[in-house]
């Protein structure tokens, strides 16, 4: 009998120990769904694991694919953290109830209010921006006067007829820009502006932002719209063909004398059904650290957002001289405007 009791006690002890070890192992994992497919982010993840001991299991997809996957998986989803690269997509994830609002004083202190979601009634926040990319105008320095393209409004002005190249109007980067302009101008003026842009196109929208820059350098376009990190990649490249492009094109940060240049964000959230919520919050807080913010700036040519981080990236500094005026409307408002913007694009024939 005594041996039986000992055996039972031992089995119970081992079972409890195994459960404890299993729980501890679980705590040292964070499952990440990421729309960031930049090779330089590998160092970001490695350093987080080195600093915390928390292993990152990563699934890569685009923004739309990640949101669709979360909806399909429901409560069975293993995702803890979601990283997306557009404000409109973050807003969509929020309104579809795919994120878990969190409270973090560290994040609230580090991330400017306009670059995060509107807090819930209990003060928790569904998502945070961790880096920005300005949506700027590049122009052919041989053919276009910089003063003719120093505002977004001038992209739709008849003086620029036949000069504009741009990617699809329905791409999230453009939906966010157009959503911001709609907030500034109002719907009627914004729709007239979009109609003017259609009339000014050198060709139908196609390709990505890098293709628009190359179109300006080749002479196919006089002006184009791009996110700054695409231009910075070309400026930092040692390839001879990229050096030619960088020499040919100029860059304008629009609306410096009015509301400021539009910036979009790459941001993150804790998944609604996160099983490792504490680790997920630690990861988001890490992304606001000076170390991680410098990776965003120097690794992928994005603008850091956390307070006190100084930009040292030579291409970003060369574009602006060190700083520029960015718009201050809440990025969440930009997301809210995306449906009405898409309707405008359909009405004016913006492909």
Residue 200 has pLDDT above 60, yes or no: yes
- Whole-model pTM: value is 0.85
Strand 303-304 and strand 128-140: pairing? antiparallel
90 and 77 share a domain? yes
Cβ 161 vs Cβ 200: under 8 Å: yes
270 and 183 share a domain? no
pLDDT of residue 219: 97
226 and 172 share a domain? yes
Confidence of residue 185 (pLDDT cuts 50, 70, 90): very high
63 and 210 share a domain? no
Supply the CATH number for residue 63's domain.
Answer: 3.40.190.10
C-alpha 66: how far from chain center: 14
Sign of the Cα pseudo-torsion (283, 289, 293, 295, in order)? negative
Cβ 128 vs Cβ 109: under 8 Å: no
Q: What is the mean pLDDT of residues 10-23?
A: 40
105 and 187 share a domain? no
Q: Provide DSSP, 133-181.
A: EEEEEEEETTT--GGGGSSGGGGGSGGGTTTEE---TTSHHHHHHHHHH
Q: H or E stretch including 269?
A: strand 263-270
Q: What are phi and psi of 35, to 5 degrees?
A: -95, 5
Q: Is residue 330 part of a domain?
A: yes
Q: Is residue 209 part of a domain?
A: yes
127 and 140 share a domain? no
Q: Which residue has the higher pLDDT, 245 or 1?
A: 245
Token code pair at residue 174? 């453009």
Residue 39 has pLDDT above 90, yes or no: no
Q: Is residue 318 part of a domain?
A: no
Nearest CA among 86, 114, 117, 158 for reference residue 270: 117
Q: Which residue has the higher pLDDT, 16 or 166?
A: 166
The neighbour count for residue 349, using CB atoms within 10 Å, is: 11
Number of domains in the chain: 2
Q: What is the mean pLDDT of residues 291-316?
A: 90
pLDDT of residue 307: 78
293 and 183 share a domain? no
pLDDT of residue 7: 42
Q: Could you give the 3-state DSSP secondary structure of residue 1?
A: coil
Alpha carbon of 318 to those of 111, 142, 146, 279, 315: distances in Å? 25, 20, 17, 38, 5
Residue 282 has pLDDT above 90, yes or no: yes
pLDDT of residue 25: 47
The DSSP bridge partners found for residue 60 are 34
Residue 250 has pLDDT above 60, yes or no: yes
Would you mind telling me the total number of residues written for the chain in this entry? Answer: 351
Residue 15 has pLDDT above 70, yes or no: no
Q: Is residue 46 part of a domain?
A: yes
d(CA 266, CA 222): 29
168 and 306 share a domain? no
d(CA 252, CA 146): 7
pLDDT of residue 323: 80
The neighbour count for residue 53, using CB atoms within 10 Å, is: 9
d(CA 90, CA 87): 5
Q: What is the mean pLDDT of residues 16-28?
A: 47
d(CA 169, CA 249): 23
Which domain covers residue 217, as residue numbers? 136-260+326-348
The mean of the pLDDT values for the chain is 91
pLDDT of residue 20: 36
Q: What is the mean pLDDT of residues 116-142?
A: 95
**Percent of residues, the chain, with pLDDT higher than 70:** 92
Q: What are phi and psi of 276, to 5 degrees?
A: -125, 60
pLDDT of residue 340: 95
Q: Is residue 95 part of a domain?
A: yes
Q: Is residue 23 part of a domain?
A: no
Q: Is residue 19 part of a domain?
A: no
Residues 310-343: pLDDT tens digits? 888 999 999 987 689 999 998 888 888 989 999 9
Confidence of residue 5 (pLDDT cuts 50, 70, 90): very low
Please give the biggest Cα pair distance in the chain: 98
pLDDT of residue 51: 95
Q: Is residue 256 part of a domain?
A: yes
111 and 72 share a domain? yes
pLDDT of residue 305: 93
234 and 344 share a domain? yes
pLDDT of residue 322: 67
Cα-trace Rg, the chain: 23
Q: What is the mean pLDDT of residues 34-39?
A: 88
113 and 39 share a domain? yes
142 and 154 share a domain? yes
């Amino acid at each position: 009998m005594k041996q039986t009791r000992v055996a039972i006690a031992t089995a119970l002890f081992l079972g409890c120990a195994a459960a404890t070890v299993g729980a501890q192992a679980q705590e040292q994992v964070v499952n990440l769904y990421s729309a960031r497919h930049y090779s330089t982010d590998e160092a970001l993840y490695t350093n987080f694991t080195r600093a915390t001991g928390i292993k990152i299991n990563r699934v890569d997809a685009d923004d739309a694919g990640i949101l669709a996957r979360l909806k399909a998986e429901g409560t069975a989803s293993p995702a803890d953290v979601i990283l997306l690269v557009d404000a409109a997509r973050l807003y969509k994830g929020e309104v579809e109830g795919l994120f878990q609002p969190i409270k973090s004083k560290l994040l609230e202190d580090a991330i400017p209010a306009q670059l995060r979601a509107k807090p819930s009634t209990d003060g928790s926040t569904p998502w945070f921006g961790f880096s920005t990319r300005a949506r700027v105008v590049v122009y052919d320095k041989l053919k276009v006067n910089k003063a003719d393209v120093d505002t977004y409004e001038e992209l739709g002005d008849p003086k620029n007829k036949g000069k504009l190249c741009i990617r699809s109007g329905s791409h999230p980067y453009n939906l966010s820009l157009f959503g911001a302009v709609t907030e500034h101008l109002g719907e009627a003026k914004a729709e007239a502006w979009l109609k003017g842009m259609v009339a000014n196109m050198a060709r139908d929208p196609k390709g990505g932002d890098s293709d628009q820059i190359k179109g300006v350098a080749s002479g196919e376009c006089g002006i184009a719209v791009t996110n700054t990190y695409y231009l910075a990649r070309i400026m930092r490249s040692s390839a001879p063909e990229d050096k030619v492009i960088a020499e040919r094109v100029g860059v304008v940060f629009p609306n410096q004398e009015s509301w400021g240049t539009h910036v979009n964000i790459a941001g993150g959230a804790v998944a609604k059904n996160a099983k490792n919520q504490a680790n997920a919050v630690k990861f988001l807080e890490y992304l606001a650290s000076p170390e991680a913010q410098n990776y965003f700036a120097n690794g992928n040519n994005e603008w850091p957002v956390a307070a006190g981080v100084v930009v040292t990236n030579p291409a970003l500094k060369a574009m602006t001289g060190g700083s520029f005026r960015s718009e201050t409307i809440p990025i969440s408002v930009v997301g809210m405007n995306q449906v009405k913007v898409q309707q405008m694009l359909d009405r004016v024939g913006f492909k």
